[in-house]
Structure 1
Amino acid sequence: MKENTLKDRAAVSLVWLAGERFGNLLSDFLISVFLARILGPSEFGLIAMVAVFIALLQPFTDAGLGSALLRKKEATPEDYNTVFWSNLGLSTAAYLIVFIGAPLVAQFYKEPLLTDIIRVLGISLVLNSLNVVQTIRLTKLLDFRTISLRSLVSNVLSGAIGLYLAYLGWSYWALVVRQLLNAIITNVLYWATRSWFPSLTFSTASFKDFFGFGSKLLLSSLLDTGFRNIYPLLIGKFYSASALGFYNRAANLRDIPQTLVAQVTGRVSYPVLIELQDDPPRLAQAYQRLMQLVSFAYFPLLMGLMGLSKSIVLVLLTDKWASVIPLLQGLTFVGLLYPIHTLNLNILTLKKRSDLFLILEVIKKALVVVSLLLTYRWGVMGLIYGQIAQSCLALVINAHYSKQFIGYGFVQQLRDILPNFCTALGMGLFMLWGSEQLHVFTWWSLLLWCFAGGASYLLLAAVFNRKNLLYLYEFSREKYHAMRMTNE
């Protein structure tokens, strides 16, 4: 009964979180489209330059304490207070570094405008730390309804205001204000309800316990963040703000389906998988099902984006963004295995092996360095091809410990996801060929090709990949009934 209740709550949480992710992505997408029509690549490039350095300091604002708190089954009030005050202190120190180092960043890029931008945008480091504990508490309760509604409201309001400011001629400051307002509104919504409020207590024992686990995750996060942003860093440094703007816009379009699928499966499945962490056979079975389901739903989104890249860019962003097209096509293959990597790495977190997590990150980052040395001479597209090769090698590396801990390694995973990839690739190539042959790029043609792509994928799946199609149908029906029973 307890297991069924947990599954039912997870099903409802999945619906709410999927709704929130879809709502945020849809609003982000629409607002970004209109912003791109008003602003140009250079304005987006300036913000992307600053975002690199903000992202590098973001892991310090939490130091892995939040992940350690989420992992702890029976967290005490002292634990929550300790993490809150630690995050606040760490984020304040991070902002001081941002404020002092802003002129150096501007000098690095040779863009004097960046000094003021980074000092203002850096305030988000402190603002984002204020609701970490609130979110963790609700996540442990599987109360994604509250999280989803607050996130969606803050995103829509801040985006609408940012769009209005861009229309008034605020240029890149409209993008800065949008990000700050998002953090401010989120905090107002969390703290106004006072669902949790910190007390003036701090436990040194709790801090040492959390930091012992979180410090390794901090180092892993720093490595991941640093190397994930190394490409925007190099493009902004050695090319121009416009070149970075094109790359950033392509990456953002690629990230829409990536974020939707990866975050929904990661945030909802993790609390459920925690319950199975001491039962390796059932855990392996759960992971196999997740791999099949995620790849079946995610791969066609990426391959559809690849196939319609030209239509999407020319119709939505206009021809001033045409340089995004080849970058977007390449980046879809870079992001293809992202949720698969996430699921593999979650196994190390479940098994409390943050030391192995760190070792894997060091190995994979060494591959990034090798890739950069081999591909930099071929420009931005050369860098993208190197990222594709890295992602494929990372699957082999990440799956090694999945094999060791739950008996679900690279060969088994490849066998489960390869049919989904072949089906999705066939759909994507059909859309790419068809849209190029007709050479019509309008709103109506874009919608028509979306429907045609979806229909072709279902047809190909019914013929060549029926097993996973039936599994998705059964899974959806089961979760729908579970949600209805829970609501009743």
Structure 2
Amino acid sequence: MPRESTLSYKKKNGQIKPDFDLLAGNSEKNSNLRSSTFRGGIVTVVAEAVIFILYIASISLLSRLLVPDDFGVVAVVTAAVAIVLSIQEAGVADVIVRLPTVSREQFDKAFWFNLTLAGFLCVFVVLLAPVLGWIYKDSRITNITLSFAGVIFLSNLPIINTALLKRRLLMGRVALIKTVSFAFAVSVAAYAAISGLSYWSLVILQLTKVGSTLLLTFFLCPVFPSSPNPSNKVKGIVKDGSYFSAGAFFASVGRNADNLLVGFFNGNAVLGEYNRAFALLLMPLSQLVTPVGSVAIPVLSRLAGEPERYKNAYVQITTRLLMLTTPGIAILVVIAEPLCQVVLGPGWGQVPVLFRWLGIAGIVQPFTISLSWLMVSQGRAYEHFRNMLINTILLVLLFFLSAPHGAESLAMAYGVSGILLRSPLISWAVLRKGPVLLMDGLKVVTPGIYGAVVAASIALISITLFQAYGHVVNLLIAVSGSCTLTVVMYLMLPLTRNIVFLTITSSKSSGPDK
């Protein structure tokens, strides 16, 4: 596989243009996947660590510059728009990543289909704006929703080009785009907040982020579509993509219905606190798990015809991910009180309680997200759609029953149902057939559970013993002690020790492809 800095050009019709077959990864071989996976994984982890630091810094800074009502009024709109965006962010792009090869015609068809869809979605959001303002009785919501129509259009344009980067596992370029665009957007939003633009600074953050992402994506993947062609030769992409888009739509409804209902029943200020709790715990988690999925899906897709290698690849990737995330979430749940005080500052009293309940769902979320990798890479589009529909119906029903009783009641329903009901149902539906079965799933989650028990126990002891030293010192001792002893436990147990050693030796042996 060529290094990420390599960009090949060829002469066509008297013009020098990027080599589409190279950029689309049509010449890649499965024999290169091991080293490519580790390189992509290392780049992704480093990039996400940088983004995580920037993300926490942005939460801390903006939470001090703005008030809960500012976050709440924007959260209503972002929740509604996120549901709309989910239709275009999945679907066709997922199919492009999964295909063995992608022709220029398929690229063009996918691009123009997505752009047409974005046009309809923009019109829908414009029509939705006054409806949302009327439902929540707040004219600010109408104006914010109208501005988010631009977010939808700009975010659509680089989707297919990003899919090409992921096909080739050019995770360095994907990571660079995410890191630079996010850092720039946070800087602009912070300046806007300091300048007194209040909730509009959060809107500016989104517009700046999607705009800079667009420019960087086309700079690093300079493939532009040809004129629209009404040919139906690639109708299969749209058909399969429609099921994945529908599944992503219902999953987004489940993820965002809580914000809409908390705001409706409890007001913007309460929603602002709920939004900060969610952002502080689950969104950084998604920022780690989702990029790993962007490496895992193309790898698993290329191994779909080799069941044993496919299973081993999934088990290795997901086990390592859960060994990192499950103890991390357990630590965060235990240290919720001092963490919220340090990161958010005063004035966010209910956030720690909400944080803990949401953390229960966070414990199982990385594993359930990894199950979607199996559905996409195996082409089980209709089953994925059905699973997401059932999960969403359960979630929305729970939200409707719990939201009138307050944000804590809803967070409790979300967390408890996630670990006791929804995760087991999805696991059974996905792992009842295919190369990866239920016993493989149990094998994947066990090491992370061991780590979570140790990490949570040490964090609880540290928080209790060193409470008098202040929040910052308490956090440093609890986090460093929990992480250190969790690593020691991993090195002591034969099962986890072998995984750690295999990770180290594999990363050392994965040099550049020849």
- TM-score, scaled to structure 2: 0.88
C-alpha displacement of 1:372: 3.6
- Alpha-carbon distance change, 286 to 145 in structure 1, aligned in 2, over 3 angstroms: closer
Q: How far has the Cα of 1:264 moved from its partner? A: 3.1
Which residue matches 2:269? 242
Alignment of 1:446-485 (within 5 A): 446-463=475-492, 465-482=493-510, 485=511
Where does residue 354 of structure 1 map in the other structure? 381
Measure how far apart 1:346 and its partner are: 2.2
Q: Distance in 1 between matches of 2:73 and 2:393?
A: 28
Structure 1 residue 50 and structure 2 residue 50: aligned? no
Pick the aligned partner of 2:304 from 246, 253, 277. Answer: 277
Distance 1:90 1:441 in 2: 52
1:349-392 CA-to-partner distances (Å, cap 9, x unmatched) read: 22222111122222222322453465446532222232233323
Q: In the TM superposition, what are the counterparts of 1:31-430 in structure 2 within 5 Å? A: 31-61=58-88, 64-192=91-219, 195-206=222-233, 208-372=235-399, 375-376=402-403, 378-392=405-419, 393-406=421-434, 408-430=436-458
Deviates more, 1:124-133 or 1:319-328: 319-328
Q: Does the CA-based 8 Å contact 2:261-2:403 persist in structure 1?
A: no
User: Residues 457-478 of structure 1, C-alpha deviation per residue, up to 9 Å, x if partnerless?
Assistant: 2234445x44213312321331
- Larger mean Cα displacement after TM superposition, 430-439 or 332-341: 430-439
User: After alignment, is 309-318 or 289-298 more displaced?
Assistant: 289-298
Give the Å deviation of 1:39.
0.8
- How far the C-alpha of 1:57 sits from its partner, in A, is 1.2
Identify which of 474, 499, 504 aligns with 1:445. Answer: 474
CA contact (8 A) 1:257 1:302 kept: no
Equivalent position amino acid for 2:441 in 1 = Q
Shift of 1:415: 4.9
- Judging changes above 3 Å, is the alpha-carbon distance between structure 1 residues 316 and 441 closer, same or farther for their aligned structure 2 residues? farther
Pick closer, same or farther for the CA change 1:261–1:61 going to 2, 3 Å. Answer: closer
Gaps of 5+ in 1: none
Distance 1:40 1:206, change over 3 A: farther
Query: Partners of 1:378 and 1:272 in 2: how far apart?
Result: 45
Q: CA deviation at 1:311?
A: 1.3
Query: Secondary structure of the residue that 1:200 maps to in structure 2?
Result: coil
Give the Cα separation in 2 of the matches to 1:67 and 1:175.
29
Gaps of 5+ in 2: 2-28
Q: In structure 1, give the amino acid aligned to 2:177.
A: R
Kept after mapping to 2: 8 A contact 1:88/1:129: yes
Q: Which residue of 2 aligns with 1:486?
A: 512
- How far apart in 1 are the matches of 2:361 and 2:276? 15
Report SS of the residue matched to 2:82: helix
Q: 1: distance between equivalents of 2:393 and 2:205?
A: 36
Tell me if the contact between 2:303 and 2:309 (Cα under 8 Å) persists in the aligned partners. yes
Q: Partner of 1:337: helix, strand, or coil?
A: helix
Q: What is the CA–CA distance in structure 2 between the aligned matches of 1:486 and 1:419, rounded to whole Å?
A: 30
Q: 1:20 to 1:7 in 2, by over 3 A?
A: same
Segment of structure 1 superposing worse, 163-172 or 52-61: 52-61
- In structure 1, distance between residues paired with 2:291 and 2:217: 21
2:59 matches 1:12: no
Report the Cα distance in structure 2 between the residues aligned to 1:366 and 1:103, rounded to whole angstroms: 26
SS in 2 for 1:321: coil
Q: Which has the higher helix share?
A: 1
| Alpha-carbon distance in structure 2 between the residues aligned to 1:427 and 1:293 | 16
Inter-partner Cα distance in structure 2 for 1:261 and 1:157:
20
Report the Cα offset of residue 215 of structure 1: 1.4
